[in-house]
Structures are given as structure tokens and as C-alpha cells.
């Protein structure tokens, strides 16, 4: 089966099992407490009803009243500060629900607001997150240089570690702050920050709901907003570093397959392109190794070198282009440098390459072999195997 | 300033402005109603208090009991069905909050569960969404062929339209179903579906909370779960089609910059460069070598150079051909398959909807001019125009 389909099916199965396991564990953890609590509360309710001699109707009315009044208990929710808070929870998809539009017009506007705001916010956080990662990478490199370390390249592990620690740091700072201001325990505040920054947003703990904070404590309000937005950026940066590449995997494989099919077709038709002939292939950029005939058109240069390479390419497996590690075939690359060829033929996932430190920004190509980045080393170590397993792709999912 | 920085700053400004505008509008829409409702509720509760002679203290007590009983009113929340529902709301980040772990152990497990589950779910939805898009593209291609249309390629506009309509119909189907089962108005059910499928999940409307549905109506429960997951897939497919490319923009530009820098450095090292003489310009290697590894490295350099300019060539050709498709990021795979085949079958002709890749062979003149310019830094620097979108 096609790799993408296999991957997708595996992911679906994973998710279902994950849900089943989660459900079972939550059941085990919470069910008993729930029934115990329910019993106690119903007892208490019975007591209170008897004590005050509520009629059934009146009690229902009371219930309705109390539930409806719940958001009001926390203060004015829809003045500007509260609305801003609400707008944040909408476009970041946190969605506490501590305040939800009551009017139908509010609901309609909320939907339109979300349609435009959510993609904007997603793109903004990823954009800012990528910038942050770049700055961190730069800083880390400078630090490594200052410390006089031998290899000043910033590996993926370094970046992931720094990212993970920043996330933890963000959560802890928030937990400390909110436990102080809201009077929660540190653990509950940490839980609140976690649920907020993962945008789950249950609403069981919501900041700015005590003592009319929204109206009366503007610095605290400003801090909360900034914290949420900055925290989401930090998490976004970490996601950009670690998860984003996986989101584009199927697309890349699809593209690679398409290129593969096209080049196979071309090879089968055995087109002898002359140097100056118009190349029909837009793959030229992407398949320099396997299909250099088209590359020749663009760069009608080193004909003898090309011929030489074409021969070796034809003799080798015809379709190494799908292999991410293709580029490491030593006789072609002529150097241990993974970066260029990779970028050329595997010009696919910029996040993937960008997040690996071996940027092509230095002429020190020869030192590139020491890039400690895991994908890089994984790939380069694949090079001998590449010839035998041309379909081997990146080791991750 | 670097393009990525400008873009990021612009996005930040946009988001802040968007928040301010949103806040103002919500204020205008909801504030008055809020005050009015508050007053109404106050009056009613005062009535009740007077009727039953309740002190403030006892009223607070009653309030507390009622609020705490609220989730229980909706039924048992943590049996298996309810837990499954909860697990869905966690890993999809919907997070209604209709039920939230009360035990500390539950909270801890919830956090760990989310930590692993959310990325897994993101990847799964995008993966499945991409498969759906590919399938739809393929179907559309066949349909176009069957209908005997001249151009059987599936354009981005086609895909976006279809995606948009699938989203709308998913919402409508859900709205119809939930308004029937939950006795909400169609509008409220639609609002519920929207808030759920965008994963905002306020919790003001939550399905499966009436009449002990979680325990008593397994088919409805199954339908709800399937609806949420399928709906999220459809939305995910649409996002995959439309938004995902924008999330990788900065990274792509960064890579292009790095390539440029590398090329510049390498070209700078090359001493014998003859801009006009393309054929002999190949060995612009540092060592001046012709074949072998050094020469090959230079081929790469040239190709990289070309590739980096390619995107602007692509846009040049696009501009000339005046395509009106708004999506101009060259990473869309929508027509990769069909376009490549197309380009193969009709040599030299530029397909109507160029694949999003660098369709640099669109014009020979462009190519030859580029290839002569390959070794000329000046020409290169003049082509610093990049994709025209943000």
C-alpha cells in the first residue's frame, strides 16, 4: 500500500486506541469520586430543601436562576476588558466558556470572528514561533562559540531541549503568578496554565474571575493577557520545531511520488534532450541526480561531468530520488555534505531542514559532515544503505 | 528588514488589531444584554429570598450546591462513555469543560494524556485530511475528464470551493441532527457544531447532556463521537489545503536565504567567472576544477542559485499569464501529479494551471537569460523579489 495511506491508517488506529485507553483510565480515576460527590451533594440538597421547605417548582426556579447567574457572579464579562478576554479565547480556540455570547447576534458575530481569526492566529503563532526558534538557534551558536566548544553547530536535540525547558519554564512562571493572584494551589494554577496553553480550555479554572479583577485590576488583567499570548507563542515555537514537519509528511510523499512517476515516465520514453532544448519538466530543480538530462537544459554546462554522472545514475537504482537519503550517494555527491543535494532533490520540507542547524550559510561545506543534528546524521548514516534501499525514507513516522 | 521579520511583525499587528476590534464589537453586542439580564436575575433571586426568608449566607450555600450539582444533573459523566467523550474533548483540544477531572490524579493524567495526545491528533487529522484532499482531487480530475472538459486539471480554486462546501454541509448536517436530538433551535445547533469543530468548545451548548443520553442512547452517543471526529477531519482537510502552507512560510524563506548566502559566498570565491560564456562557466569551483566533486558542487550551486531565483521566475511567468488564483504559494500539491503528466505529454507547452513548483521552463528566453545570469551576482541580486504574498 502507498506509504501515505499506511501512515494515515496507522495514525487513525493509534488515535482510537489512545482514546479507548484514555477513557478507561479516566473512568477508573474519576468515576468513584463522581458518584461519591453526587451522593453527598444530593444529600445536601435534600437537607436544604427540607430546611427551607422549597416547593418543587420553586426549587427548579432557583436552580435555573443560579445557573443563569453563574457568569455574572464573576463580574462584568462583556465590558471592554472582558470582551477582549473573550476575543482571545475565541481566536486562540481556548474557549473557556466562562462567558459565551448570549444574544443571537453575538453568536453570529462570534462565528464570523472565529472563521477569520483562527487561521490568522495559527499563522501568526507559527510565524513568531519560527522567528523565536531562529533567534534561539543564533544565541545558542554564539554561546557555544563563546564557551569555546569545538562544534558550534546547534543540533536538533539542543533546540528541542531548549524548547522543552522554555515550555516548562513558562508553565511554572504562570503557575506561580496565578496561584498568587487567584489564590489557587500551585498545582491547580499549573493545571490551569497547562489547560490554557494547550488551548483545551475547560473553564473549570479561569483567571480574572475573582473580585471583579477585570474591572479593578488592570495590571493583572494586562499580565494575564500577555501571559496567555506569550505562552501560546512559546508552545507554538515548540510545536513549530517538533510537530509541524509531521503535518506536511503526507503531502511531501505525495509530491515525491508524483515526481517519481514523472521521471520514470520520462526515462521510459528515453528522451534525449539536447542541452539547449526546452525542458518540459518542472522537476528539473528537484531531480538533479536522477534526471540530469533536464538539469542540463537549465544549466548546459559540465557536459562531460554530467555524462559521467548520468552513467553512474543509470547504473544505480533508477529511483533514489524518493529517498531522502538519496543525496548521500557518495559517488555523486563527491563530498560528505548532505545539505545541498538534500535541499535540491528533497526540496520538500523547509521546516524539516530549517530546523536542522546545517544551514547553507557557510562555505564550510566540509565541516558539514559534523552536523550533529539527528535527521542529518540519520540520513548520512543511511547513505550506504541508500543504494540498497532506495525507498527508504526518513526514519520518523 | 528581512522578509520573515516583516511578515511576523505584520501578523502580530494584525492579530492585536483583530483582538481590539473583536473586543469592541462584542462589548457593543453583549454588554447591554448582560446588564439587563443581571438585573433581572437579581430581582428574581431577591423575590425567592424574600419568599423563603433566606439570608445571604444560606443563599450562597444553596447557590454552591446548585452549581456543584450542575454536571451531575447532566448524567453520569465519568463512566466509560462519558470518559471517552471527555478524552475526545482533551486530545482534540475542544475542552467543553462540561466535565473536568476533579481528583488530582485525574488532573495529572489529563495533562500527560494531552501532552501526547494533542500532537498525535494534530498529525492524524492533517494526514487524513491530506488523503481526503488527494482523493477529492483525483475524483474531480476523473469527473472533469468524463465530462469531456478541455482542461482536466484540478485547480486550487476548485479544491477550495469543494472544501468550503464540505465544511458548510458538515455543519448543516450536524446542526440538523443535534437540533433534533437535543431540542435546540437549528441556529443554536449550528452554533454548537461550529464552536465544536473549530475546537473552541465553550461548553455553553454540549451534546449528550440531556436525558442521561450517555448511558441510555448508545446510537446517539456513537453518532456524536463519529460526527465530532469526522467533522474535525473535514475541517482539518480544509485547513491542510488552505492554511498549512502559510505556517511554513517563514521557514521556507529562511532556507532560501541560507541558500542565497551560501551561493553568494561560493560565487564570491570563484575567481574565473565568465558571465557570457555559459558553457565554460561551469567550473566556477573554488579550485577551478572542471569535473569531479568540485565541479559537481558547482552544478549544485548553480542549480541552487537557479532554484532560488526560480520562484520569482515562476511568479514572473504567472504574472504574465495573469492567473487569478489567489493561492500563489508554490508548495501546493494539488496539481503536482496531473501537471507533471500534462507537462510530459505536451512538451514545451505550459499547462494552464502550472504546478506550484518552479515552472521555470515556461520560457526559453527566461531560462537562457537566467543561465547567463547564473554567474553574475548582479543579475542574481536583482532577482531578489520573492513570492508576492505575505
Chain A: residue nearest B117 by CA? A18
* CA nearest neighbour of A96 among A241, A203, A222: A203
Nearest chain A Cα distance for residue B332, angstroms: 9
Report yes or no: B87 and A26 within 8 Å, Cβ to Cβ: yes
Q: In chain B, which residues have pLDDT < 70? A: 270-390
Name residues 154-173 of chain B within 8 A of A (Cβ).
none
Kindly tell me if the per-residue pLDDT of A154 is higher than 70: yes
Q: What is the pLDDT of residue B299?
A: 59
Report yes or no: B74 and B209 within 8 Å, Cβ to Cβ: yes
Report yes or no: B346 and B354 within 8 Å, Cβ to Cβ: no
Report yes or no: A208 and A220 within 8 Å, Cβ to Cβ: yes
Chain B residues in contact with A115 (beta carbon < 8 A): 198
Among the partner-chain residues A11, A106, A130, the one whose CB lies closest to the CB of B124 is A11
Report yes or no: B365 and A279 within 8 Å, Cβ to Cβ: no
Chain B residues in contact with A4 (beta carbon < 8 A): 127, 130-131, 134
Instruction: Give the residue-averaged pLDDT of A162-180.
Output: 95
Comparing A162 with B356, which gets the higher pLDDT? A162
Q: How far is CA B204 from the centre of its chain?
A: 26
Report CA Rg, chain B: 30
Length of chain A measured in residues: 397
Chain A: residue nearest B345 by CA? A280
Residue of A360, A363, A366 to mutate for B, most B C-beta atoms under 10 A: A360
Query: Could you say which DSSP state residue B40 is in?
Result: H
Chain B: residue nearest A67 by CA? B67
**Contact flag B361-A278 (C-beta cutoff 8 Å):** yes
As a whole number of angstroms, the distance between CA B15 and CA A232 comes to: 13
Q: How far is CA B212 from CA A66, B176, B206, B217, in A?
A: 22, 21, 13, 8
**Contact flag B122-A94 (C-beta cutoff 8 Å):** no
**Contact flag B307-A255 (C-beta cutoff 8 Å):** no
**Residue A303 burial (CB count, 10 A):** 12
**Contact flag B33-A102 (C-beta cutoff 8 Å):** yes
Nearest chain A Cα distance for residue B148, angstroms: 24
Chain A: residue nearest B267 by CA? A363
**Contact flag B78-A31 (C-beta cutoff 8 Å):** yes
- A228 Cβ contact partners less than 8 Å away, ≥ 6 residues apart: A88, A92, A94, A196, A197
Which ipTM did the prediction report?
A: 0.70
Q: Phi first, then psi: what are they for A210, rounded to 5°?
A: -110, 140
Q: How far is CA B57 from CA A45, A46, A51, B50, B61, in A?
A: 15, 18, 14, 14, 6
Q: What is the pLDDT of residue B207?
A: 94
List the domains of chain B with CATH numbers.
Answer: 77-265 (1.10.287.70)
Name residues 51-80 of chain B within 8 A of A (Cβ).
51-52, 54, 58, 61-63, 65-70, 72, 76-80
**Contact flag B340-A281 (C-beta cutoff 8 Å):** yes
Residue of B33, B60, B89, B97 to mutate for A, most A C-beta atoms under 10 A: B97
Q: What is the pLDDT of residue B170?
A: 97
Instruction: Give the residue-averaged pLDDT of A336-357.
Output: 43
Q: What is the pLDDT of residue B222?
A: 94
Q: What is the pLDDT of residue A304?
A: 52
* CA nearest neighbour of A5 among B377, B131, B365, B230: B131
Q: What is the pLDDT of residue B244?
A: 87
Answer whether B192 touches A (CB < 8 Å): no
Kindly tell me if the per-residue pLDDT of A367 is higher than 50: no
**Contact flag B117-A72 (C-beta cutoff 8 Å):** no
As a whole number of angstroms, the distance between CA B240 and CA B127 comes to: 9
- A276 Cβ contact partners less than 8 Å away, ≥ 6 residues apart: A297, A300, B368
Chain A: residue nearest B261 by CA? A361
Among the partner-chain residues A119, A191, A304, the one whose CB lies closest to the CB of B111 is A191
Instruction: Give the residue-averaged pLDDT of A190-217.
Output: 93
Q: What is the pLDDT of residue A108?
A: 93
Q: How many A×B Cβ pairs under 8 Å?
A: 558
Nearest chain A Cα distance for residue B147, angstroms: 24
Q: What is the pLDDT of residue B234?
A: 95
Length of chain B measured in residues: 390
Q: What is the pLDDT of residue A6?
A: 87
Chain B residues in contact with A347 (beta carbon < 8 A): 307
Residue of A5, A16, A30 to mutate for B, most B C-beta atoms under 10 A: A30
Q: What is the pLDDT of residue A307?
A: 57
Q: What is the pLDDT of residue A361?
A: 42
As a whole number of angstroms, the distance between CA B242 and CA A239 comes to: 19
* CA nearest neighbour of B389 among B328, B332, B313, B315: B328
Q: What is the pLDDT of residue B163?
A: 94
Q: What is the pLDDT of residue B343?
A: 43
Kindly tell me if the per-residue pLDDT of A113 is higher than 60: yes
Q: What is the pLDDT of residue B306?
A: 54
Q: How far is CA A287 from the centre of its chain?
A: 29
Answer whether B307 touches A (CB < 8 Å): yes
Kindly tell me if the per-residue pLDDT of A194 is higher than 90: yes
Q: What is the mean pLDDT of chain A?
A: 76
Comparing A347 with B260, which gets the higher pLDDT? B260
Q: How far is CA B39 from CA A133, B43, B53, B73, in A?
A: 50, 6, 20, 26
As a whole number of angstroms, the distance between CA A368 and CA A360 comes to: 9
As a whole number of angstroms, the distance between CA A396 and CA A242 comes to: 12
- B51 Cβ contact partners less than 8 Å away, ≥ 6 residues apart: A58
Comparing A287 with A105, which gets the higher pLDDT? A105
Q: Phi first, then psi: what are they for B275, rounded to 5°?
A: -55, -35
Amino acid at each position: 500500500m502507498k506509504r501515505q495511506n499506511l501512515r494515515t491508517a496507522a495514525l487513525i488506529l493509534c488515535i482510537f486506541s489512545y482514546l479507548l485507553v484514555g477513557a478507561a483510565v479516566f473512568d477508573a480515576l474519576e468515576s468513584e469520586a463522581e458518584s461519591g460527590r453526587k451522593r453527598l451533594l444530593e444529600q445536601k440538597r435534600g437537607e436544604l430543601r427540607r430546611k427551607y421547605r422549597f416547593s418543587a417548582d420553586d426549587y427548579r426556579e432557583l436552580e435555573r436562576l443560579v445557573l443563569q447567574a453563574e457568569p455574572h457572579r464573576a463580574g462584568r464579562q462583556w465590558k471592554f476588558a472582558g470582551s477582549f478576554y473573550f476575543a482571545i479565547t475565541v481566536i486562540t480556540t481556548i474557549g473557556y466558556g466562562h462567558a459565551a455570547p448570549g444574544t443571537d447576534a453575538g453568536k453570529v458575530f462570534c462565528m464570523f470572528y472565529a472563521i477569520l481569526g483562527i487561521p490568522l492566529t495559527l499563522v501568526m503563532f507559527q510565524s513568531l514561533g519560527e522567528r523565536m526558534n531562529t533567534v534561539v538557534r543564533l544565541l545558542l551558536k554564539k554561546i557555544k562559540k563563546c564557551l569555546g566548544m569545538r562544534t558550534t553547530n546547534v543540533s536538533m536535540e539542543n533546540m528541542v531541549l531548549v524548547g522543552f525547558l522554555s515550555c516548562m519554564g513558562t508553565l511554572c512562571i504562570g503557575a506561580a503568578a496565578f496561584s498568587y493572584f487567584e489564590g489557587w494551589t500551585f498545582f491547580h494554577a499549573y493545571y490551569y496554565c497547562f489547560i490554557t496553553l494547550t488551548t483545551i480550555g475547560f473553564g473549570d479554572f479561569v483567571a480574572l474571575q475573582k473580585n471583579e479583577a477585570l474591572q479593578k485590576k488592570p495590571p493583572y488583567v494586562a499580565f494575564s493577557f500577555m501571559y496567555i499570548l506569550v505562552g501560546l507563542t512559546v508552545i507554538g515555537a515548540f510545536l513549530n520545531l517538533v510537530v509541524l514537519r509531521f503535518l506536511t509528511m503526507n503531502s511531501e510523499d505525495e509530491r515525491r511520488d508524483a515526481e517519481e512517476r514523472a521521471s520514470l515516465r520520462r526515462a521510459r520514453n528515453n528522451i534525449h534532450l539536447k542541452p539547449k532544448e526546452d525542458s518540459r519538466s518542472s522537476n528539473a530543480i528537484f531531480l538533479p541526480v536522477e534526471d540530469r538530462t533536464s538539469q542540463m537544459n537549465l544549466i548546459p554546462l559540465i557536459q562531460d561531468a554530467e555524462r559521467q554522472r548520468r552513467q553512474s545514475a543509470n547504473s544505480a537504482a533508477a529511483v533514489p530520488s524518493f529517498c531522502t537519503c538519496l543525496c548521500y550517494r557518495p559517488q555523486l555527491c563527491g563530498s560528505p555534505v548532505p545539505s545541498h543535494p538534500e535541499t535540491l532533490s528533497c526540496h520538500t520540507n523547509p521546516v524539516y531542514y530549517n530546523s536542522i542547524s546545517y544551514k547553507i550559510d557557510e562555505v564550510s561545506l566540509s565541516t558539514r559532515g559534523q552536523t550533529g543534528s539527528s535527521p542529518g546524521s540519520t540520513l548520512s548514516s543511511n547513505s550506504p544503505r541508500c543504494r540498497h534501499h532506495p525507498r527508504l525514507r526518513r526514519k520518523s513516522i | 528588514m528581512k522578509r520573515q521579520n516583516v511578515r511576523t511583525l505584520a501578523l502580530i499587528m494584525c492579530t492585536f488589531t483583530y483582538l481590539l476590534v473583536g473586543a469592541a464589537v462584542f462589548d457593543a453586542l453583549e454588554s447591554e444584554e448582560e446588564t439587563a439580564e443581571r438585573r433581572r436575575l437579581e430581582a428574581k433571586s431577591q423575590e425567592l429570598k424574600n419568599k423563603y426568608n433566606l439570608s445571604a449566607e444560606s443563599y450562597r450555600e444553596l447557590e454552591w450546591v446548585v452549581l456543584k450539582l450542575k454536571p451531575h444533573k447532566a448524567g453520569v459523566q465519568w463512566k466509560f462513555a462519558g470518559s471517552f467523550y471527555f478524552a475526545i474533548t482533551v486530545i482534540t483540544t475542544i475542552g467543553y469543560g462540561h466535565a473536568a477531572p476533579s481528583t488530582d490524579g485525574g488532573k495529572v493524567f489529563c495533562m500527560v494524556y494531552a501532552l501526547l495526545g494533542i500532537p498525535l491528533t494534530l498529525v492524524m487529522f492533517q494526514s487524513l485530511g491530506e488523503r481526503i484532499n488527494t482523493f477529492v482531487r483525483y475524483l474531480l480530475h476523473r469527473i472533469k475528464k468524463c465530462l469531456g472538459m478541455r482542461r482536466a486539471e484540478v485547480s486550487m480554486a476548485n479544491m477550495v470551493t469543494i472544501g468550503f462546501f464540505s465544511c458548510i454541509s458538515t455543519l448543516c448536517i450536524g446542526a440538523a441532527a443535534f437540533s433534533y436530538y437535543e431540542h435546540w433551535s437549528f441556529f443554536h445547533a449550528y452554533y454548537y457544531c461550529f464552536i465544536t469543530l473549530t475546537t473552541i468548545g465553550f461548553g455553553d451548548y454540549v451534546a449528550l447532556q440531556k436525558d442521561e443520553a450517555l448511558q441510555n442512547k448508545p446510537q446517539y452517543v456513537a453518532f456524536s463521537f463519529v460526527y465530532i471526529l469526522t467533522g474535525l477531519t473535514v475541517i482539518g482537510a480544509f485547513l491542510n489545503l488552505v492554511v498549512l502552507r502559510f505556517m511554513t512560510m517563514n521557514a521556507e524563506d529562511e532556507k532560501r536565504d541560507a541558500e542565497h548566502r551560501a551561493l553568494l559566498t561560493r560565487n564570491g570565491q570563484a575567481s574565473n567567472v565568465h558571465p557570457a560564456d555559459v558553457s565554460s562557466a561551469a567550473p566556477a569551483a573554488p579550485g577551478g576544477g572542471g569535473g569531479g566533486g568540485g565541479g559537481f558542487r558547482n552544478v549544485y550551486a548553480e542549480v541552487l542559485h537557479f532554484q532560488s531565483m526560480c520562484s520569482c521566475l515562476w511568479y514572473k511567468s504567472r504574472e504574465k499569464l495573469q492567473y487569478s488564483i489567489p493561492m500563489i504559494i508554490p508548495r501546493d500539491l494539488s496539481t503536482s501529479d496531473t501537471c507533471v503528466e500534462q507537462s510530459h505529454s505536451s512538451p514545451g507547452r505550459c499547462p494552464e494551471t502550472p504546478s506550484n513548483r518552479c515552472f521555470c521552463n515556461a520560457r526559453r528566453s527566461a531560462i537562457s537569460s537566467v543561465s547567463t545570469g547564473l554567474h553574475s551576482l548582479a543579475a542574481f541580486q536583482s532577482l531578489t523579489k520573492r513570492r508576492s504574498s505575505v
